[in-house]
Amino acid sequence: MKSLDITCRQSSLLLMQDADEPNSLFAQWRLNRHLVICSACRCFKGNLTLMKQATERWRKESIGFNFPTSSQ
């Protein structure tokens, strides 16, 4: 049987994987359980959310913008 507790390393992997495709309910439950007790991982989750929002905003604002190329 898998341990219910996860390490910060496992937590960060689950947080990054969740950005690509949702974690299983059990993995999400274990992650949330860890986030309750670990302020470092909560901070990391906040940083990931901020980077995701910044990337989305940059993507939307750069649509139609022609970036200069090195050959010009």
Q: Give the residues lining the site for Zn ion (CB under 5 A).
A: 8, 11, 38, 41
Identify which of residues 19 and 43 has a Cβ nearer to Zn ion in the complex: 43
| DSSP run (H or E) holding 10 | helix 8-20
Quick check: 46 and 16 in contact, CB under 8 A?
Answer: no
Distance CA(40)–CA(72), nearest Å, equals 45
Identify which of residues 8 and 50 has a Cβ nearer to Zn ion in the complex: 8
State the minimum distance, in angstroms, from the CB of residue 61 to Zn ion: 33
State the minimum distance, in angstroms, from the CB of residue 38 to Zn ion: 3
Identify which of residues 25 and 37 has a Cβ nearer to Zn ion in the complex: 37
The C-alpha R_g of the chain, in whole angstroms, comes to: 17
